[in-house]
Chain A
């Protein structure tokens, strides 16, 4: 009888708390969104499943010694996984459209305003006592506005590890929601005639330029902002491997098997942060809201900058490509293209929007470097 009682006390049913039950439901919801609605399935499947695993009562998968805890410590706490992903993203990036029209870098810079505006918002909210965010927390929340998953995770792991679960979920869900969030803002800020502006065919960019560019970017980062060097260094390395065309084997591995492997473990490790005591909190709601604000402001400031650039450069820049300054590659560029086609069925903006899109990746990595530098150094 005693043995039977012992067995009963060890079952999940006996040990489960309401918080764990709720988190398992949230994990299942993420799985539903990924599988049934096709929302960023590559990430939400591992994250959702990791969330379910982490909340199994009594199993302790996310506690010290558990397998998910191990993934987290090795990959995320050390900063390794986001950096490896960034290398893969670099190997998949084509800087051609950016090199053909370097002015689009300004759009990538403008869209980062969302990051800093949200940082300010989070700071204001804590000043009024609504939330209790430190400057480091506020910085990590703001970076959601960059719409760049690996960068958000990297910054959160450095500045606010407690909030990592919520920040990662927020930034990846907003990346998936790009086609829903951006169009209303884009339509509100542009006129019909502006949306119809056609952009001239881009010039041809030679292979040599594409090889020199990552090296140039690396040198600039090395001299000016070493704090952004981990992110942009890996990014440039991946890109150089692709463009130099003499290490195709390495470049293929980085773009495919390596990034896939790391994505699996990254997702599970982020999921392990979805434990009830850390996630079921009033601040999570705040993070989700602020992330959305960050993202919307980034989109809006990108478009306004594109309008300004259009004025100064004497036309020829469709303001729709401004929203691609947030770095969600390539969803944001596709949205620009779609809205351009909507206004005029012969207006193809995709290649033009890829320039600001890639610039956004560089911009948010620079912003991340500044935040890490300021918060940890000051």
Chain B
């Protein structure tokens, strides 16, 4: 008697459990799909979030025109100049 009741309980738990796992995840599939649609719709008008998170409010006024491009601009002509002069040098050597 006791053995068969354990068997029954086990069977019930199996059906109930498997059923619920499927119902839960099916719901999740639909809800997730809906959420993705809504968010994509919303982002069409608002734009995406910055990848690094929303910047925190700060008292310091952000400096526009960061320093790096300036340094690059300074470096580039140097580089360009040496390449150009090398090319000119090469040209003159060949066409003597």
Contacts and interface: CB of A to CB of B under 8 A. Distances in A.
Interface of A: 98-99, 102-103, 105-106, 108-109, 112-113, 115-117, 119-120, 122-124, 126-127, 134-135, 138-139, 205-209, 211-213, 216-217, 220, 224-225, 244-246, 248, 359, 362-363, 366-367, 370-371, 374-375, 378
A116 B18 CA distance: 7
B52 A366 contact: no
Contact size class for B? 35 or more
Given A102-B33, A138-B10, A366 B4 contact: no
Given A126-B6, A208-B48, A246-B54, A224 B29 contact: no
Given A109-B21, A216-B35, A135 B13 contact: yes
Interface string B1-37: 0011011011101101110111011111101110110
A366 B29 contact: no
26 contacts: A98-B32, A102-B33, A105-B25, A106-B22, A109-B22, A109-B26, A116-B17, A119-B10, A123-B7, A127-B6, A135-B10, A205-B36, A207-B48, A207-B51, A208-B39, A209-B40, A212-B35, A216-B35, A220-B24, A220-B31, A245-B53, A246-B54, A363-B25, A367-B17, A371-B13, A374-B16
Contacts of A139: 13
A206 B20 contact: no
A224 B31 CA distance: 14
Contact of A370 (B21, B28, B31, B42): B21
Contact of A208 (B21, B26, B29, B43): B43
Given A102-B29, A109-B24, 7 more contacts: A106-B22, A123-B7, A126-B6, A207-B49, A220-B27, A367-B21, A378-B9
Contacts, number: 127
Interface of B: 3-4, 6-7, 9-11, 13-14, 16-18, 20-22, 24-29, 31-33, 35-36, 39-40, 42-43, 48-49, 51-54, 56
A186 B4 CA distance: 35
Given A127-B3, A207-B48, A119 B13 contact: yes
